[in-house]
Structure formats: structure tokens, C-alpha cells
Structure 1
């Protein structure tokens, strides 16, 4: 498996509700091929964004299984508060551990608009991967 397909797969799975750390994979691949940093960031961002959109669509499907009362529990409270207060802008935090997956799921459940949701998720994840690269390299100094 090539570095880029490994990065895509790892980033995609890490953005769904499955546990995984795509940042660790990115750092490992950067150590092997530092010159490929831009390709790795692009592929990681695309994979992670598609994984988040999978959670978004699972949220849409979840409307048939979960009532609004079921989402009022403590597990979803912080995510609901963020989305109710900031709307689609809360999805800039879709990269954050624990809350990010819930935000994407809730955004779908709440039927936030698709294109703005996609853009906010994409932007948030791009910034996160660029910060990881900047933290482990000297390219941005």
C-alpha cells in the first residue's frame, strides 16, 4: 500500500466513529518522506473530511432512530450547545478529539446545510493537519 493510500485510509477511519489517530500516522509518514508533506496533508484532509461526512450522513439516517429527547442526554449536550450557538461554524471544531465526531453526527441529525457543513469541516481539518506538519517540521518557520 502506498503512503498516500495508507494516509487516506487512516484519516478516513479516524474521522468516523471508530477510534484512530491520523496525526500519529501523518507524523510517521512525514518522518519517512518529509518532501511529501503537501501531498500527505491534502490526502489526509480529503480522507478525514470524507470520514466526517460519513458521520454527517449517519446523523441524517439517525433521525429515523433517535428522537430529539434521546439527544438531550449528557453525551450530546456539549455538541448540541455548540451547534445551537454557532451553527455550521461549530464544525470548524470537527477535528477535535471526542467532540468532533459528535459535532459531525449532530450536524447531520439537525439537517445543517450540506455545502457549508462540508466547507467548515474541510477547513477545520486542513488547519489541523497544517499545524501538525508545522509542529514537526521547519518548513513554516
Structure 2
């Protein structure tokens, strides 16, 4: 959100990388649900059922925050920023397309399955 507030909320890299996300309430509810459904074992992906491209994510953040534009961040600029904070640009530039297949197959119901609703909820509690 800080990037968006300062007009830097444009696409990151080429913006085509997928981002898997989950609302904090769904992460907590999913954990509780798994504790009650102990017959499920192994790897469970706790992500919302609709990953989005980085361009969509940044556009929605700008829209809901009321910022009309966002300067894009090219890969070279992200590399500089990553060095400054001691992380890897791969975390931003590589697609993360993870699906909650086992949760959905077992009738888990997300509170916030759509990014638009999750962002609106989070921003309404932050203001």
C-alpha cells in the first residue's frame, strides 16, 4: 500500500506474473477448519481460489485506495530495491500460481474468494 500511496503502484516487472493470495480471515478460518477436519493430512494450500496477475493486483489496489496512477517498477529497479532490503527479486517477479484444490474438493468455503472483496474489507478496517 505504501507503493500505491506514493504513486509507485504500477505493475512490477512485466506484470504478467501470477500472485496467489489469501485474506487473513480466511487463513485463520482455514487453520481452524483443518484442526476440526483432522482426516485431511499432507500438504494443504491455503490460498484464495483465484490467483491474479500482478497488473490486476496493483490496479485493484490503486482503484480501492483512490490513486489514479501508478508508475511501473522495471525488473532492474526491483533488483536494486531487493538488494537494499536484503531479499530476492524472484519473490516479486516469479509467478506463484497455487490453487487450494484439496480445500475446495472437501467443501471448504472461503469468506473472501475474490480479491476485490478482500481488498475492500482490508482497506475498510485500516481507515
Q: Could you say which TM-score interval applies, normalised by the shorter chain?
A: 0.3 to 0.5
TM-score (norm 1): 0.30
TM-score under structure 2 normalisation? Answer: 0.32
Greater helix content: 1
Higher relative contact order (CA 8 A, sep 6+): 2
